[in-house]
Structure 1
Amino acid sequence: MSMYFVGIDISKYKHDCCIISAANQKVVSKVTIENNKSGFEELLTIINSLSNPADIKIGFESTAHYALNLELFLENSLLTFMEVNPVLINEYKKSKTLRRTKTDSVDCESIARWLMTVEYKPHPKGFYHAYSLKSLTRLRDKLIRQRSFYLVKITNVLDHTFPEFKPFFSERFSKTALYLLENYGSAEKMARMNSVSYEKLRSLSRGKFSPQQFLQLKELAANTVGVNNSIFDVELNSLLTLYKSLDKEIYILEKEIIKLIEEIHPHYMSIPGIGPLSAAVIYSEYGDISNFSNSGQMLAFAGIEPGINESGTESHGGKMVKRGSSQLRYTLINCCIPLIRFDMTFATYYAKKRGEGKPHRVAITHVAKKLIRVIYALERQDIDFNTQKLR
């Protein structure tokens, strides 16, 4: 059986395909299919007429979400495919010609020919979970940023109307604090709170909001230097509504994220400090760990590795490259904070780096590197975390 290489140039409404045989013959110079069911079935008919699915190698560039429907169709049709970094295809085209030609037919042929030169690494099956988690976790991250934005705006309003309010709650917007803002809003109304008001606050805080705190807040409200202005009340109500709406959506997203990641339940969820939401980000960004040949590739993927500057007889290690997913990098480093509190081996490693004179952030980055190596080992060996086996 002959091997066939299918290069597909992905776009929003259509996909262009080129098929080349192992004998370097163009079986299909270019065919354009629509990004819909009939277009996909047309492509499947062409592919099925060629050979056994095992002898078909399909490749296309990573193009955000435009390829998702085609990927699902190919997987359901028992066909494999390989996602290609667009930079690699661009470099390949440059190596073959000095002309700056970019057309759909050139692109799909370049992908097909590039496939002939590399080891074929099919995209892992079941990728839809990873894609779903990536969409949900990134949306959650955006909504959290928006929610933080509105919290800042709420603080700005309180600086005008009741500047003593937030310091009273230790600069945090607890459930009790938000309840007060929603139901009373102004310092003038809080100053008039009564015993019924206190009972609601005590119940909401599960008894943590004491009578002394209640009286102290009333006194602060009565003697505030803030301005009582109805315009600020309107602004505060609008901001609180937006904040609550975002908070609700984040809660819904988190429930769905937790449900998905618990179905997968990767081994690194057994590491202290990695909860379901952090595990979801790690899984969504890394995907199938078996795609990485070693932990060094995972470090590079997250951008947690030093840059190297080499020239002539000199070689210098630089700052962390910070390429790859910033969300993945942020999550991994954040996981290290509770990790050094709850696991002695990681705590000792952190203390060792600090003892070498490294600042906190640099030491935590080293812990994150160790964490990545542990994650790689757990998934490749199909085992849960055991601190006794750490070195």
Structure 2
Amino acid sequence: MICVGIDVSKRKSTVCFMAPGDKIIRRPFDVKHTKEELQPLVDEIRVQAKYDEIKVVMESTGVYHLSIAYFLQQNGIFVSVVNALKVANFNKAENFRHTKTDSIDSTNIARYGIAYWAKLPQFDLNGDKYFLLKRLCDAYLNFSEERSRILLQLQSQLEQTMPGIFDLFGGFDINSGKGKLLDFLERYCHIEDIIAKSEAEFVSSYREWAKEKGYRSNESKAATIYAQAKNGIPSIPNNPIVRETIMW
């Protein structure tokens, strides 16, 4: 049997080939997490596999181990991803060197693999798909929270540029980030954009916009918006910086 112990880092890994009895088949060496450097590792493992059973063992490192584990397993190599605490406890029980270097760590991982050869769990793509799905869900939730924060900030800004417009349109959906008001802001984001026109001009422009966006072309709604704009007092000026913060 030959165990390939891999100590995984962010962009590279340290690899050690070991046989029982602490026999080093190949001294620890580094490989980057690229196809160009991982393919020769695959080739070497396949050569060794012609003469003896071979397994690859690495510690679970959050996400860093995933790329190399996937690559090796997709090339038909047995890969086992083990809990780092189990390896640490094994090293402590066996009184192995406590100095931490990538080379020593890869050697100790290989020793662990040989000691627990028959019990090594095979890397489960589906199991890690669950892990990846969880990360995607976390990212989605973070994105949703950030979007909600931005929309609430926008609501506050609108009270300064077009007082009352939020309530007049019934707001917007904080969860979906969609709504008639958001579409309206693409054309009008300050009271002065509205009152720069005559009421007839604004009503005509509003109806044209509503038709273009697929909304009901309501003349009375346009007149109400115009009247409110004429009566409103903005607290911040209509300038490029203000417009940029709203449109962003």
Give the TM-score normalised by structure 1: 0.50
Output the CA distance in 2 between the equivalents of 1:83 and 1:128.
Answer: 10
> Counterpart of 2:29?
32
> Counterpart of 1:213?
221
> Counterpart of 1:181?
185
Determine which structure has more spread, i.e. the larger CA radius of gyration.
2
Alignment match of 1:224 (pick from 229, 232, 246): 232
Q: List runs of 5+ in structure 1 lacking aligned partners.
A: 243-391
SS at match of 1:19: strand
Percent identity reads 23
Could you tell me whether the CA contact under 8 Å between 1:14 and 1:32 is conserved in 2? no
Could you tell me whether the CA contact under 8 Å between 1:161 and 1:227 is conserved in 2? yes
In 2 relative to 1, CA 88–236 (structure 1 residues): closer, same or farther, beyond 3 Å? farther
SS at match of 1:163: coil
Alignment match of 2:57 (pick from 52, 56, 59): 59
Output the CA distance in 1 between the equivalents of 2:101 and 2:185.
Answer: 58
> Counterpart of 2:14?
16
Offset of 1:107 from its aligned partner? Answer: 1.4
Offset of 1:59 from its aligned partner? Answer: 1.6
SS at match of 1:78: coil
Output the CA distance in 2 between the equivalents of 1:70 and 1:221.
Answer: 60
Q: List runs of 5+ in structure 2 lacking aligned partners.
A: none
Please list the CA deviations of residues 337-387 of structure 1 after superposition, one character each: whole Å capped at 9, or x if unmatched. xxxxxxxxxxxxxxxxxxxxxxxxxxxxxxxxxxxxxxxxxxxxxxxxxxx
Name the Cα RMSD after superposition: 3.6
> Counterpart of 1:197?
206
Could you tell me whether the CA contact under 8 Å between 2:60 and 2:83 is conserved in 1? yes
Q: Output aligned runs, 1:115-194, within 5 Å.
A: 115=113, 116-117=115-116, 119-125=119-125, 140-172=140-172, 174-191=178-195, 192=197, 193-194=202-203
Output the CA distance in 2 between the equivalents of 1:159 and 1:53.
Answer: 76
Offset of 1:38 from its aligned partner? Answer: 5.3
Which is worse superposed, 97-106 or 77-86? 97-106
Matched, 1:234 2:238: no
Alignment match of 1:103 (pick from 91, 94, 101): 101
In 2 relative to 1, CA 165–94 (structure 1 residues): closer, same or farther, beyond 3 Å? farther
Could you tell me whether the CA contact under 8 Å between 1:176 and 1:205 is conserved in 2? no
SS at match of 2:18: strand
Please list the CA deviations of residues 96-122 of structure 1 after superposition, one character each: whole Å capped at 9, or x if unmatched. 449742121231123223333372222
In 2 relative to 1, CA 206–182 (structure 1 residues): closer, same or farther, beyond 3 Å? closer
Q: What amino acid is aligned across from residue 110 of structure 1 in structure 2?
A: N
